[in-house]
Structure 1
């Protein structure tokens, strides 16, 4: 897809069509929008049907020029000039795509967040529909961020592991994340859930108390390292605290508007957590142990992963947490090695 869309001279985008069976030459309610140097017209392009489809994101981002058949008018955009009536990119402030030459991990996180709110006809295409963008990112960054591992980049992996579900993309209709019926990606990857996610932002001052020992994500095909994977695992050595729900660990009944909730042990606050799915949050009611693995120290907080025991002495991710650096949590930590699948 990268070579196809990236080398195209012009992409014709039927933005106002719900699927391939719909036409896109409907008569517009706006017959004419006169151009002036001082007037800008606002058209809700973000609400067009095409923006709900996951496959369409890379078509938009990879093409250098686009002729968009929107509901209210015809729009032309390119990397050099912005025609009246079309808003500038909210991230760069320019008419360029997200994948400009100055691409960095923040750029990738922004793309992933945009991609995660879109829908797929076939859930197994979660990585495939993003493969073109991953290939372009690797090219633009000259491979400086290492291998592509199930939607994350090796050289920035510890920070990128701290993604979390985001259940309030629209306050009027919160979206609950869920895991697919069949295995698609390891639990440490955002690809393992369906639903909106939020990526850990770049922190100006950060250090990692954890060490990445190994990381693997095996593609199903030797032809494309950016498509579907057959297996994946990471091994991390870092500080951890083990606690058990049966010993008084409980979550508040009320979750804030961004998906975080307080986890308490007795009357004391233990950590602020965000579980990946509703089912994952139910571990607080089970007798099993929760492993809190510290990953990153940033903004006067310790951020990390919440793990539970899986098969063969391995662990599975169920959420993320943060706690203040001066928390009593740190007094209980010990260093351990975890293999997460």
Structure 2
């Protein structure tokens, strides 16, 4: 029997009527799911035990397909149209790109949109409701206001709340310190006085002061710096107008925070005095840790780029619901800086020119409290919590300044060594203007690790963690074809500091760490500092160790435009090698017979790749489970009685049946 007309009309009305997002599942856009986290096969729903958890949805949309979507006036999806308009404003030339668009949707939160393409790395569009009371659709949330100028009263008030929240919170025990040691105090500070008082350099004479510190890119342009000839003049007065724009901003920030003194490296270290530079740079650990706050000019490429700047305003995205009513919808560009939601995840990621500079990493790691001035907003970190202007509530997320204190608090030496390796991974991926600064620029962090472990420092490695530290390898993201040996000796080959490339370490889970067993013994070590900093520049270094060694032939061949290296051992399957850089064969003479023999070494920049097969030796460094991992070594040209590292290997423990104990020198 057919339904009565009254019921039929009611039924049709119920299935066709929709609000701006209350459409049936059949009517949802297959591309964007109406920007609703619910009702999709990939929707992630919270468990009952999760408090305040919300439904989430991650979408990957083809950029080319989205750019060809019909306009809403031609009955295209109004929600896809929102994405298109936002992308047009903030991502120039995205249309037609062969790229993937990532859309992260969370119930009652903002929508994050990013493009998986190198030129847009780290950039995110945030779409949000302009009014909480009249959201364009029910699942869309509002966003925190970000002032349009980083020098506004609102931003300075945010900074003061962050600092006071840290200083007065009894839970921030690791953020409290008292600088009592005269040797740890900066020798000089810039006295910024008040607006009506002269700015001048002062000698602290071992006294302690409450001061700010500036972390910044030097750049290549002209800058004001202290020298032997102008020190006396700067001690009388430093003209505000003579300061580069970034330093002027740093003075303003210092005064706004109620402080009188600031430490700026180029002004507080005599730049043409090697002795003064070595003495003061060796204090970096205490200078940044003991500063009241560090001002990080993250987005400034040099001292001429201000950090107190206007920011791009949010834009209004035209949006009408199905009843043709226009509702407030906004979009703004932010940077992908937030810490991982996972408690064991990574800390905040400030993005800008400074984040690629090697010297700046230890300034970040060692600071007690730090302000990051980025292009879009201000980030605050201390050794306990994190806040930013788009997420101003205090959160106990992991922070970079908390990395070492957190490891030390576990009272496990292994945790401290692991923290060191995490720092080295980040540090090795950064750039240095002066290559010889490789070890000095991380010596401040090294001094903290030495104090926590009481271990001997050996050119970037630790005696108490030698086996694990020796097993660094070049990051998989780096091409062997683009990496070479250094023209000038800087560190022994067993140290990551001997190369200009990003390195990584093997992550061991708890079970693997329990069975990780070193197979080497350190017999002796020598490190000869070149200057006054014992953790800085070296003139020589070596270690003498005993361990299991077996002989092999290293074979090089090109596979798919990339160099591949294999260990060939008689009666054994070939073993892949992770090279330290491009490798080449070379000849050497033995002392006993003066006959020429082949070995393998790291290639120089002027040398090109070619196929070869040459003898090497392999040193087993450690074993865990049924695996053994170690170093591939070639005869040293610099010290013919010693060996140089050229790569690492990993294999089953059966390979060590051919090994014999040997004592050797690594340089």
Q: Taking structure 1 as the reference length, what is the TM-score of the superposition?
A: 0.83
How far, CA to CA, are the matches of 2:420 and 2:491 in structure 1? 18
Cα deviation for residue 87 of structure 1 reads: 11
Alignment counterpart, residue 160 of structure 1, candidates 461, 469, 472: 469
Asked if the contact 2:618/2:632 (under 8 Å) is kept, the reply is yes
Asked if the contact 2:566/2:575 (under 8 Å) is kept, the reply is yes
Q: 1:250 to 1:197 in 2, by over 3 A?
A: same
Q: Which residue of 2 aligns with 1:60?
A: 364
Superposition map of 1:45-56 within 5 A: 45=337, 46=349, 47-56=351-360
Task: Write out per-residue CA displacement over residues 112-157 of structure 1, whole angstroms, 9 at most, x where no aligned residue.
Answer: 0000000000000000100111112222x151xx111111111111
Q: Which residue of 1 aligns with 2:196?
A: none
Asked if the contact 1:208/1:296 (under 8 Å) is kept, the reply is yes
How far, CA to CA, are the matches of 1:26 and 1:269 in structure 2? 61
Superposition map of 1:56-135 within 5 A: 56-84=360-388, 85=390, 93-95=397-399, 96-103=401-408, 104-135=416-447
> Is residue 2:494 matched to residue 1:188?
yes
Q: Which residue of 2 aligns with 1:229?
A: 538
The alignment partner of 2:514 has SS state of coil
Asked if the contact 2:524/2:543 (under 8 Å) is kept, the reply is yes
Q: Which residue of 1 aligns with 2:551?
A: 242
Q: Which residue of 1 aligns with 2:324?
A: none
Q: 1:119 to 1:301 in 2, by over 3 A?
A: same
Asked if the contact 1:251/1:264 (under 8 Å) is kept, the reply is no
Q: Which residue of 1 aligns with 2:521?
A: 211
Q: Which residue of 1 aligns with 2:656?
A: 330
Superposition map of 1:227-306 within 5 A: 227-245=536-554, 249=555, 253=559, 262-264=566-568, 269-279=573-583, 283=600, 285-286=611-612, 288-306=614-632
Q: Which residue of 2 aligns with 1:37?
A: none
How far, CA to CA, are the matches of 2:303 and 2:552 in structure 1? 51
Alignment counterpart, residue 292 of structure 2, candidates 9, 12, 36: 9
Task: Write out per-residue CA displacement over residues 237-274 of structure 1, whole angstroms, 9 at most, x where no aligned residue.
Answer: 111111235xxx45673699xx9865445895332311
Point out where structure 2 has 5 or more consecutive residues left out of the alignment. 1-283, 316-332, 338-348, 409-415, 587-599, 601-609
Asked if the contact 1:206/1:296 (under 8 Å) is kept, the reply is yes
Choose 1 or 2 for highest CA Rg.
Answer: 2
How far, CA to CA, are the matches of 2:353 and 2:560 in structure 1? 34
The alignment partner of 2:405 has SS state of coil
How far, CA to CA, are the matches of 2:305 and 2:417 in structure 1? 37
Asked if the contact 1:54/1:115 (under 8 Å) is kept, the reply is yes
Aligned residues: 316
Point out where structure 1 has 5 or more consecutive residues left out of the alignment. 33-40
Asked if the contact 2:490/2:498 (under 8 Å) is kept, the reply is yes
Cα deviation for residue 167 of structure 1 reads: 4.0
Asked if the contact 1:43/1:72 (under 8 Å) is kept, the reply is yes
Asked if the contact 2:480/2:580 (under 8 Å) is kept, the reply is no
The alignment partner of 1:106 has SS state of helix
The alignment partner of 1:83 has SS state of strand
Q: Which residue of 2 aligns with 1:38?
A: none
Alignment counterpart, residue 201 of structure 1, candidates 500, 507, 510: 507
Cα deviation for residue 165 of structure 1 reads: 0.8
How far, CA to CA, are the matches of 1:252 and 1:264 in structure 2? 16
How far, CA to CA, are the matches of 1:323 and 1:86 in structure 2? 47
Q: Taking structure 2 as the reference length, what is the TM-score of the superposition?
A: 0.44
Q: 1:107 to 1:280 in 2, by over 3 A?
A: farther
Alignment counterpart, residue 530 of structure 2, candidates 203, 220, 227: 220
Task: Write out per-residue CA displacement over residues 274-309 of structure 1, whole angstroms, 9 at most, x where no aligned residue.
Answer: 110013589494564200011100242111111111
Asked if the contact 2:480/2:582 (under 8 Å) is kept, the reply is no
**Larger RCO: Structure 1 or Structure 2 (Cα < 8 Å, ≥ 6 residues apart)?**
1
How far, CA to CA, are the matches of 1:159 and 1:120 in structure 2? 26
Instruction: Please state which structure has a larger fraction of its residues in helix.
Output: 2
Q: Which residue of 1 aligns with 2:646?
A: 318
The alignment partner of 2:482 has SS state of coil
Cα deviation for residue 16 of structure 1 reads: 0.4
How far, CA to CA, are the matches of 1:216 and 1:151 in structure 2? 13
Cα deviation for residue 333 of structure 1 reads: 1.4
Q: Which residue of 1 aligns with 2:263?
A: none
